[in-house]
Amino acid sequence: MYIHLLHVQEPSRTVNKKSEKSGKKSAKKSSQLVIRVEKSERDAFVQLCDELDTSAAREIRHFMRRFVDEHKNG
């Protein structure tokens, strides 16, 4: 597997129109993480996310936050 991190700029707090309507603030995304996986794994993951009415990016961000929280003091 190949993982590449591209940092663009420091995040700034912004409110987008969609978040503004719901009263939530959203941090503007400021970097990308590029990974290479088998096409079949990616397709299965994206299909499952669609079936669960979520996005692949949202689930990966959720995994990353949980992983960091579990390992930051150990």
How do residues 19-74 score in pLDDT, each as one tens digit? Answer: 555 566 667 788 999 999 999 999 999 999 999 999 999 999 999 999 999 999 76
Among residues 60, 12, 55, the alpha carbon closest in space to that of 32 is found at: 60
71 versus 9: the higher-pLDDT residue is: 71
The predicted pLDDT at position 21 comes to 55
The predicted pLDDT at position 29 comes to 80
Please report which residue ranges of the chain form alpha helices under DSSP H: 17-22, 39-51, 56-71
Q: Could you tell me the pTM of the whole model?
A: 0.61
Place of tokens 């996310």: 49
Compute the distance between CA of residue 21 and CA of residue 17 in angstroms, rounded to an integer. Answer: 6
CB 36 within 8 A of CB 1: yes
